[in-house]
A and B are shown apart, each in its own frame.
Chain A
Amino acid sequence: MRTQSSVEIGTEWGIVSARQVGRELSKEIGFNNVDQARIATAISELARNIYLYTENGLIGLEVVEQGHSKGIKIVARDEGPGIENLREAMTDGHSSSNGLGAGLPGVKRLMNEFDIESELGKGTVITATKWLR
Chain B
Amino acid sequence: MRIPILKLGKYLLISVQVELDDQTALQFQEDLLNRIHEEGSEGIVVDLTSVEMIDSYIAKVIGDVVEMSNLMGAKVVLTGIQPSVAITLVEMGITLSEVPTALNLEQGLEKLQQELEG
What residues of chain A lie closer than 8 Å to B71, measured between beta carbons? none
Contact indicator B84/A102 (Cβ below 8 Å): no
Partner of B56, one of A15, A34, A36, A106: A106
Q: How many A-B residue pairs have CB under 8 A?
A: 72
Known A37-B88, A106-B91, A109-B91; contact A48-B55, beta-carbon cutoff 8 A = yes
Q: Interface code A1-40, partner B: CB below 8 Å = 1, 0 otherwise?
A: 0000000000011011001100100000000011011101
- A-side interface residues toward B, CB under 8 Å? 12-13, 15-16, 19-20, 23, 33-34, 36-38, 40-41, 44-45, 48, 92, 98-103, 105-106, 109-110
Known A12-B22, A48-B57; contact A40-B52, beta-carbon cutoff 8 A = yes
Contact indicator A109/B92 (Cβ below 8 Å): yes
Among B57, B91, B93, B94: residue with most chain A CB under 10 A: B57
